[in-house]
Amino acid sequence: MKDAAPTTAPETFYLKDYKPFGFEVEAVELTFKLAPNSTRVLSKIRFSPKKNAADPRFFLHGEALKLISAKIDGAPVTPDLVEGGLSCETPDTPFTWEAEVEIDPAANTALEGLYMSSGMYCTQCEAEGFRKITYYPDRPDVMSTFSVRIEGNETVLLSNGNPTGAGEGWAEWHDPWPKPAYLFALVAGDLVNHPDRFTTRSGKDVELNIWVRPGDEGKCAFGMEALKKSMKWDEDVYGREYDLDIFNIVAVDDFNMGAMENKGLNIFNSSCVLASPETSTDANFERIEAIIAHEYFHNWTGNRITCRDWFQLCLKEGLTVFRDAQFTADMRSEPVKRIEDVIALRARQFPEDNGPLAHPPRPEQFQEINNFYTATVYEKGAEVIGMLKRVVGDDNYAAALDLYFQRHDGQACTIEDWLKVFEDATGRDLSQFKLWYSQAGTPRVQVSEDYADGAYTLTFEQSTPPTPGQPDKAPRVIPLAVGLLSPNGDEVRATDVLELTEAKQSFTFDGLAAKPVPSILREFSAPVILKRETSNAERAFLLAHDTDPFNRWEAGNALATETRVTMVVEGAAPDAAYLDALETLVRDDTLDPAFRALVLSPPSQSEIAQTLHDRGVTPDPQKIYDAAETFAQTLAQQLETSLPRLYAATTVDGPYQPDAHGAGLRALNGRILSLLTRLDGGEQAARQYQAADNMTQQYAALAALMKAENGETQSQAFFDQWQGDRLVMDKWFALQVACAAPETAAAVASKLTDHALFDMKNPNRFRAVMGALAGNHAGFHHASGAGYQLLAENLIALDSLNPQTTARMCAAFQTWKRYDSARQALIRVELERILATEDLSRDTHEMVSRILQG
Ligand SMILES: [Zn+2]
C-alpha cells in the first residue's frame, strides 16, 4: 500500500476547524479472517446520531480498502466511495453499520494499519492507520468499546483488553475501556512468551507477557522487570493502577517508531524491548527501561485520558515523556538523567526550533500528522510540563494531576482542559504560561548584572527569533532557577526560582559581602538559550564549585564549546586551563563516574556548527572535525601518564549487571579507552575486544579500533559472530558509517546499501546506515556533496515503500541554511530532486516543502 499521491497541493488541516463527530459509537465488533494477501475484516458498529450535531454527515475514513459489502440494520446499502473514505445516507435513529472489506497485509510496506513482519501479523494505528483496516470514524475523540474475533492458523492471536474465548484457529477479546481507534491492536504469529504476574496495590492479579519470536525468549527478562517497576512506580508516585486482567507486550522487527501504547497490547520495535548482556549496550538497557515505562504510563496519560484531536498530541506525549524521565531519574541518577536529556534536547529539538521545521508544541495546522511526532511535541512538550511543575510547586502539581485524572477519566481532552485543571487546583491564571504551547522557537535570555553596596542585581531580557508564520512573539513565563556563590566557592544563596514574565526584568539580592558568581538556569529550569558575557575563568570556577550538578556540567560544556570555537575560528591550540580542569575532574574519584564520563564527552560537531552560525560565522564542517580530532589527541597526550591507571580503576570486575553504577563506570572506561587508543594505536582496545563478555565493552573496543582505522580484523570477527542477530547487525552497519573519515563516509554508506544484509524495508536497518550518515557531521556535509546525494537517492527509493520513515529522515537537511552557499546549492538540488519525484508521498512532500521554504 502507498499513500495517495497529491495531484494538487495536499490538503491542510487546521485546529480552528475542529468539529465533533455527529454520532456516538456505542460498540464495535470486528472479525478478522487472516490471509497474507487477502485478509477479510468484518465490522459491526452501533452508531447513534447526536442531537443538534455541528457536523451531521456520516463520513467514515478508509484508505487502501476493497469494500466487499455494506449494510445498515441488515439491509444492503451502496455508500459513496470518495477519496479518503465513504459517506452514506443513514437513519435518524440509532442503527447498526456492517461492512466487509479486504486488505493486503503482506504488501503493506508502509507499516501502518495491518501488516506483516517476519511472518507475523501486527498493527500500527496511531495516528491514522486504523482507516487502512476498515471504514471507521478514525479520530481520537471517537471512543468506544471493542470486541474482536481473530481467525488464523497462527499459534498466538492477540488483541486489546481481556481474552474472552479461544479455540483451534480462533480467539476472542473484549476491551471494556472505551478507546479511540488509534489504540486498536492485533497480533497473530507463532510466538513464544516470557510470562510473569503483578499484583496491584488493591490486590488485582495481572498476567504479564512479553511475546517474541522463538529464539528471543532469553532477551525478555530485563524488559519484564522494567515493566513491573513501572507498574509499581505509577502506583506509588501518581496513584495510578493497572485496569485489565492481562498486559501483553509484543516485539516486532519492522516498526516505524520505538513502541506503541495500544490498550493492554503494547507493540514494540524489537530494538526497544529485547535485551541481553551479550547483545545490548548499557545505553540500550537504559533506553529499553525508559520506553517500557513510557508506553506503560500511557495507560493513564494517553489511553484513559486521550487527545481530542491530533493537534493536542503533546497533551499525552509531553506529559508521558515527563513521567518517564521522572521514573528514570528515580531508578538511576537524577542529575545524570537531566544532563542526558538536555544533551538530547539540544541535539534534536533546538535545531528544529531554530530552523524551517519550527512549530509550537501544539501546532495549529498540518498536512500529514505523522510529520508532527517531533522532538518539539515530545521533548519540548515534556520541558513545558517540567516548567509548569516548577512554577506551581510540587504539591500543587500533585493536586492538579489528581484532579486531572478525576475530572477527565474516559475523555478526549485539550491543552485548555489540562491547564484549567492547574488553574482550578492553584487559583493561578495560566494564560501567559499557555504561550509555551502556541509559540514556536527557543527563547533567548540575555543576562546582565550589577553589584554595589552589597546589592547584586541580575537583569534578564527575553526575546524569541521569528519562526515560520510567527514573526513576533509575546514574552513568556520563564522560571529561572538561580543560586549565588561567593568568590571563595561557598554557596551564599541557595537555589531560588525567579519567574520572568516581562520582556525585561531585574531581581536584586541584598546583604552580600562581595560580588557573587551567579549560577543561572540550574537544572536547566527552562528550555531557553542563556546569553551572558562571562569568562573562561568563571566557567572553570563553576565547573569546580557549583553545587548544582547540572550547571557544573554546563560550565564544562561551555568551556568545551568555547575552546572548540576558538580553535576553529582562530586556529588556536586547545585551551590549557580547560585541559587542566578536565584532568582534575577525570581523576576525582569522589565524583560519580557517569558524571565524569559526561564531562569528558565533547559537544557534538553539529552543535559547534550551530554555535558558530549563531555568532555569524559560517561553519566549515571539515575544520570543526579537525578541531575535534586535535582536541582529543591533545587531551590524550596530557593524560598520558594517568590513562592506564584510570583505565584499570574504571574496569568493572565480576559478571555484567546493567545497573546505573556499572553503566556509569563503563561509560567512563569507554571514554578513557578511546583516548588511550589514540596513544597505543589500539593495543588495549584489541585486548578488551578479545576479553569482552558483554556488548558494552565489545562495542566500545570495536568503536575505538575502527575510529583508529585499525579494526578490520575485529569488524570481520564481529560480523561473523553476530550476522544472525538483526539488532546487533544494526550496530555493525551504523558503526562503520559513524567511524568513517569525512572523505569516505558517503562511500562507506553507499557500499553498505549493497550489502546482502541491507534491507531497505526494515526501518531499523535503513536508519542504521542513513541515520549514521546524517549523524557523521563532516562526512554528510563533505564539500563533494556525495553525502547529500546518497541520502536523497535513498530517500527517493524508500518513499514509495515507507513514506513515514522517509519523511522523518528528511529532517537531516533541516539545518541547511547554516552552511556556505556552495553547500546550500548542493542541498537545494537534492531537495528539489526529491520534490520532483513522481508520486511522492504526502508525508515527504510536506517535509521537503517546509525545509525549502523556511
Ligand atoms: Zn508516547
* Residue 583 pLDDT > 70: yes
pLDDT in tens, 493-548: 999 999 999 999 999 999 999 999 999 999 999 999 999 999 999 999 999 999 99
What is the 703 CA–ligand 1 centroid distance (Å)?
31
Alpha-carbon distance values, 309 to 33, 117, 138, 233 (Å):
31, 29, 10, 29
The confidence band for 653, taking pLDDT boundaries of 50, 70 and 90, is: confident
* Residue 5 pLDDT > 50: no
SS3 for 547?
Answer: coil
Assigned C-alpha cell, 78: 451502496
* Residue 754 pLDDT > 50: yes
Residue 1, pLDDT score: 41
The confidence band for 2, taking pLDDT boundaries of 50, 70 and 90, is: very low
Average pLDDT over residues 617-626: 98
pLDDT in tens, 336-356: 999 999 999 999 999 999 999
* Residue 4 pLDDT > 60: no
Active site positions, annotated: 295
Strand bridging mode 23-33 / 144-151: parallel
* Residue 34 pLDDT > 70: yes
Nearest CA to 833 out of 790, 803, 802 is that of 790
What is the 318 CA–ligand 1 centroid distance (Å)?
8
pLDDT in tens, 407-438: 999 999 999 999 999 999 999 999 999 999 99
Q: How many residues does the chain have?
A: 854
* Residue 550 pLDDT > 60: yes
Average pLDDT over residues 183-191: 98
Strand bridging mode 156-159 / 186-189: antiparallel
Residue type, 720: D
| Residue 383 to residue 524: CA distance in whole angstroms | 9
Residue 7, pLDDT score: 46
Residue 6, pLDDT score: 46
What is the 294 CA–ligand 1 centroid distance (Å)?
6
SS3 for 195?
Answer: strand
Nearest CA to 29 out of 195, 164, 121, 167 is that of 164
The mean pLDDT value of the chain amounts to 97
SS3 for 631?
Answer: helix
The confidence band for 10, taking pLDDT boundaries of 50, 70 and 90, is: confident
| Residue 757 to residue 719: CA distance in whole angstroms | 11
| Residue 613 to residue 824: CA distance in whole angstroms | 14
| Residue 559 to residue 581: CA distance in whole angstroms | 10
Residue with cell 581523576: 587
In percent, the amount of the chain with pLDDT more than 90 equals 98
Residue with cell 492471536: 157
Q: Which of the residue ranges 9-13, 205-209, 613-617 would you say has the lowest mean pLDDT?
A: 9-13
The confidence band for 3, taking pLDDT boundaries of 50, 70 and 90, is: very low
* Residue 834 pLDDT > 50: yes
Conformational region of residue 292, where left means phi above 0, alpha means psi within -120 to 50, and beta covers everything else: alpha
Alpha-carbon distance values, 521 to 120, 384, 543, 548, 552 (Å):
49, 15, 14, 10, 11
The confidence band for 8, taking pLDDT boundaries of 50, 70 and 90, is: low
Nearest CA to 158 out of 212, 110, 99, 227 is that of 212
Residue 159, pLDDT score: 98
What is the 763 CA–ligand 1 centroid distance (Å)?
19
What is the 15 CA–ligand 1 centroid distance (Å)?
21
pLDDT in tens, 237-287: 999 999 999 999 999 999 999 999 999 999 999 999 999 999 999 999 999
Distance separating the N- and C-terminal Cα atoms of the chain: 31
Nearest CA to 123 out of 261, 267, 298 is that of 267
What is the 165 CA–ligand 1 centroid distance (Å)?
31
Beta strand extents in 113-204 (DSSP E only): 113-117, 120-124, 144-151, 156-159, 162-167, 170-179, 186-189, 192-199
Average pLDDT over residues 344-372: 97
pLDDT in tens, 709-743: 999 999 999 999 999 999 999 999 999 999 999 99
